[in-house]
Amino acid sequence: GDSVTQMEGPVTLSEEAFLTINCTYTATGYPSLFWYVQYPGEGLQLLLKATKADDKGSNKGFEATYRKETTSFHLEKGSVQVSDSAVYFCALRSPGGGNKLTFGTGTQLKVEL
């Protein structure tokens, strides 16, 4: 079945540091890939997405590239801010998986001054 593996957290960075959160997946067919963000006490918000190989999703300075050859969708940001502190979820949706949205375990990011 479909699955998503994310790096364990928490990840603690200083403001303006470079961020990478790794995400790899297993899926039937050609999935769409997503990154969601959950700020404390809130619901999940879509951060970015990519629907086919080599697509790059980007939003608010975050980027992720759909790499079919390595089945990865790593999240990056060049300079994090305190306001980026949140839990980040990698997710996929594939036709072979019944089109349900399958999430990784989430990675908590803490950004300090």
**DSSP string covering 92-112:** EE-GGGTT-EEE---EEEEEE
Residues in contact with another protein by CB under 8 A are 32, 34, 36, 38, 42-46, 49, 87, 89, 93, 95, 98-103, 105-106, 108
Shortest spacing between CB 72 and another protein, in angstroms: 19
| Vertex 109 angle, CA 17 and 112, to 5° | 55
Closest approach, Cβ 59 to another protein, in A, equals 12
CB of 16 to another protein, least distance (A): 26
